[in-house]
Amino acid sequence: MWNLIDFAVLSFTSLFVIVDPIATVPAFLAMTVRDTQAERLRMATLSSCVAGGVLAVFALGGRRVLSAFGVTVPAFEIAGGIVLLIVALDMLQARRTALKETPEEQAAGAKKEDVAITPLGVPMLAGPGAITAVLLLTSQADQWLKYGIVLLNIFLVSGLTYLIFRLSVIRPAIFNTLTLRVVTRLMGLLLAAIAVQFIVNGVGGVTLSPVFSQMTR
């Protein structure tokens, strides 16, 4: 029971921190500045649903992709942990990581009439970092119940993303620059710890190949 609770807390925390809807609020408001409140709320709904759907697809089929390419779980934990650590270091400096969006993507989004699907849903919310986190979590799911927990947390994070976007439309003053920077840095620190733990787990699970084992004897 405690193992499932720990996994549920880890998966929710990892997903919420890496999706990071709070830090996405300024970009969302900037790209929809010319839209009405109703249009902004529609985009908030659609972008949250798109992000949740994309992450759910990778949660269901990601492990098959790893198997198809012959990638072991420890190897992916190490690589994925490094990716998440890069995102965390950017968050600790209170800046948007290029893994979520490049300046070119943000500029292009500002010119679009509807940014709900791209770039807001993908890649700002469901970007490479979030997809990596989902794959890491499902790679550790050794029973169907844990798969269900990951999917439930994906939809929970999507729902919270919508609520945060909705609040930013109705009460934009809440999301001032100082608050966003403090929250982003705290979440970055938490994500850094999670990323390091993934790397440690991956290193601990690495099995030396027979050739390398003979060379080190």
**How does pLDDT run across 141-165, given as a tens digit for each residue?**
888 999 999 999 999 999 999 999 9
Q: What is the mean pLDDT of residues 97-110?
A: 61
Q: Give the per-residue pLDDT at 216.
A: 41
pTM for this entry: 0.85
Instruction: Grade residue 120 by pLDDT with cuts at 50, 70 and 90.
Output: very high
Q: Give the per-residue pLDDT at 28.
A: 93
Does residue 45 or residue 110 have the better pLDDT? 45
C-alpha 17/C-alpha 11 separation (Å) is 10
Question: Token pair 């500002």 is at which residue?
Answer: 110
Q: Give the per-residue pLDDT at 215.
A: 39
C-alpha 196/C-alpha 187 separation (Å) is 14
Does residue 97 or residue 160 have the better pLDDT? 160
The contacts of residue 189 (CB under 8 Å, 6+ apart) are: 88, 92
C-alpha 186/C-alpha 68 separation (Å) is 37
Cα dihedral 96, 86, 182, 16 sign: positive
What mean pLDDT is reported for the chain?
A: 86
Q: Give the per-residue pLDDT at 163.
A: 98
Picking from 160, 116, 147, the residue whose alpha carbon sits closest to that of residue 13 is 160
- Burial class from Cβ neighbours inside 10 Å (0-12, 13-18, 19+) for residue 82 reads middle
Instruction: Grade residue 1 by pLDDT with cuts at 50, 70 and 90.
Output: low
Instruction: Grade residue 217 by pLDDT with cuts at 50, 70 and 90.
Output: very low
